[in-house]
Amino acid sequence: MTLRLDLLRNSLAETFGSARVGTNEPLAKHCNWRVGGPADLFVSVKNAHELIQTVRLAHKHGIPPTILGFGANVLVSDAGIRGLVILNRAQRISFQPNYLVEADSGTNLAVLAKQAAQLGVGGLEFLIGIPGTVGAAVAVNAGTRTRWISGLLESVRVLQNDGEVEWLSPKELSFSYRTSRLKQTGEVVIAAKLRGNPDEPANIERKMKKELQVRKNQPTGPSAGSVFKNPPNDFAGRLIEACGLKGFRIGGAQISEMHANFILNVGGAKAQDIKAIIGHAKSEVSKRLDITLEEEIRYLGQW
């Protein structure tokens, strides 16, 4: 592993310059929870071409890459991530005829929603309140209680495990609640085409303000948003609250007093603290209510 990492580091330095290739990069500063250990190798890519180049180089050297957007929906272990971590900052947005929008996978969802609003492209308003990037949103089928990004998709540009790039239809990606085939296959989202609809910018702005108003009732502070998926016909937060777990704390991590499906880093939390709270909440809900909660967040690194 060490030899392969050295060879990959040299290849990345030749491609992007040694200044852009980091070692033992602390990942806590790249994740919303503000926890997580170091990455063996770390590089930030600026566009889709660099993203494809970097993933192909990693595969060539036998090092599976881990791709981070804004770290909004992940829990990185205190031991960090072995191998290469790619910070995806491919953020090109192209507005095309008939309200079609193509966005690179590193595009911030809020930026995408705001630009669409300015150009009178409706239908993307709900993205304003979802933290993270287009690529992560596609992979997990992010959305609200009533709308999901899969409902906007025309096609998704994917780097497959054999190194080939292909545009895939939503049907080929097996979307369902908070998941897609991309969560299992390791394929990398490069870009997505989303279909909007005509609307007046002022009307779109009003809709976005309503979306943000709902989010104002959510806790502030370092968190990953909703930790658990909602079970059918119920809410994970209600179930956790019913078990008396609001305010439950381990180390620097605490279940929010405002919304029980949020776990906050209230100061000095470790990833293990957060994981322990997740395990406790799952155990209590299972034991008391006979319901199995499933995480919405992803675990990354060595556990």
Q: Which token pair is 265? A: 């880093």
The one catalytic residue among 105, 150, 178, 295? 178
Residue 221 token pair: 């502070």
178 belongs to the catalytic site: yes
Give the DSSP per-residue string, 159-219: E-TTS-EEEE-GGGGT-BTTB-THHHH--EEEEEEEE-EE--HHHHHHHHHHHHHHHTTS-
Q: Tell me how far apart the alpha carbons of residues 22 and 8 are, in angstroms, rounded to a whole number.
A: 12
Instruction: Name the catalytic one among 50, 102, 187, 296.
Output: 296
Distance, C-alpha 146 to centroid of its chain: 19
* Annotated catalytic residue, options 226, 256, 284, 295: 226
Give the neighbor-by-neighbor strand order of the sheet with 65-68: 21-26, 38-45, 81-88, 65-68
* 295 part of the active site: no
CA distance 40 to 18: 15
Hey, is 131 helix, strand or coil? coil
Is-catalytic flag, 205? no
Please identify every residue annotated as catalytic.
178, 226, 296
